[in-house]
Copies of this chain bind each other. A is one copy, B any other.
Amino acid sequence: MSTSPAVNRRVTLANRPSGMPELSDFALVELPIEAPAEGSVTIAVEVLSIDAFIRTVMDERAFHGAAEIGGPLPALGVGRIMHSTVDSLQIGDAVFAPLGSQTVAELPAEFVRKLDERVAPSTAYLGGLGFATGVTAYIGMMEVAGVQHGDTVVVSAAAGAVGSLAGQLARIAGAGRVIGVAGGPEKCAWLVDEVGFDVAIDYRGGDLDGQLRAAAPDGVNVFFDNVGGEILDAVLEQIAFGARIVICGGISHYLDMGNVVGPRNYLKLAERCARMSGFAVNFYAERVGEAEAALAGWLAEGRLVMHEQHEHGIENFGHAVRTLLSGGNRGKLLLDLR
C-alpha cells in the first residue's frame, strides 16, 4: 500500500466543450485534505473508470445531471479508506464508489461499497463485475435483449468494455453467430483472435451494409447498440423478423447531443415486428446481485475475459476521456493513480 497522499489533486471542468473535449477544457487544482464529516470517509483513489457518460455530463443539459464548471467530473472508481468515521469501513479497506476525477475523495459512507479482494482484484469491480460495464452488459444482453440459443447477434463498439463483454455473454448464452462492429483492422483482428467474436466488421472499411449482409445473411436477431448513427441504420436494414435491438448508448452522438440524427430506418421495426428497447442499468438495482454472481463465476472459469487498458496519472484524466471518445481503447479503459 502506498503512503497516504498529502493533498487532493482534482481535475475540474474548465469549459463546456462543443464536440471533442480539448485538454484545455480540463483544469488541475490542488486542495487540502480535511478530516471527513461525521458519517463520511476519506478515500485514496487508486483507479478510475473512464466511461462515455463523462462526456455527456460535460454538456449544460445532460440527462445524468450536468457537471458544474469548476467542479470535479463524475467517475466511478476503486480506492482505499484513509480516514473513517464509521465502524463498517476501516483504514486500508478496498472500496468502490463514485469517486470523481480526483486523487482523494470524501464521501458519505452509504455511497461507499467495501470490496472483497479475495473474489476478484479491485479493478474487476470497474470492469467485468463493474456496474457500468459488466453488469450493464449482462442486463442488456441477458435481460433486455433476451438473447436466445442460435441467435445471430451484432454488437457495436464491440472493442469497448461493455461491447466486448456483451459479445462474450451472447456466446455464453448460446448465440449462433456473434458479430462485432469496431473501428479499424487492429481492433477487428483482436475481437476475432482474442475475444472470440465470429466476425468483426470494420465500420471505417466502407460498405457497412454489404459487410453486414455477408456476416448475417439470414438477418440479425439481436443488436446491442452502443453507437447509434449510421451503424444503427445499417443494422435496422438487416434485422430479422422479431429482432430485439437494445439501446445501451449512442456514443456517435455524445459529442453533439443537440444534433442527434435519429434512425431513419426505424420503420423496419414495423415491417419486421421488431422492437428497440432502451435501458439504463441504474434502474435494475434488484438484479445486480444476480448479475455479479454470474459474472464472477464466468470470470473465474475464464469463460469471460475483461481486457484492461491502463492510462496513468490524474493529470491525464482529460487525455483518457479523449482516448475513449476517439475509440482509442480496447476493452476497459482505466486511469490508474497507483
Counting CB contacts under 8 A, is A273 at the interface? yes
Which residue of B228, B247, B270, B276 is within 8 Å of A250 (Cβ)?
Answer: B270
Closest to A269 in B: B278
Please judge, given known A-B contacts A241-B283, A283-B241, whether A272 and B264 are in contact too, CB under 8 Å. no
Size class of the contact patch on chain A: 20 to 34
CA distance A278 to B274 in the complex (A): 5
Q: Chain A interface secondary structure, helix, strand, loop or mixed?
A: loop
Check if A277 is an interface residue, CB within 8 A of chain B. yes
A253 to B271, CA, bound (A): 14
> With A275-B276, A275-B277 as given contacts, are A264 and B260 in contact (CB-CB < 8 Å)?
yes
B267 touches A273 (CB 8 A): no
CB closest chain-B residue, reference A233:
B262
Q: Which residues of B lie under 8 Å from residue A262 when comparing CB positions? A: 233, 261-266
For A241, give the chain B residue with the smallest CB separation.
Answer: B283
Interface string of A275-288 (1 = CB under 8 A from B): 11111100100000
**A144–chain B nearest beta-carbon distance, Å:** 9
Q: List 9 A-B contacts (CB under 8 A).
A: A249-B270, A261-B262, A262-B262, A266-B266, A266-B276, A270-B278, A271-B278, A272-B280, A274-B277
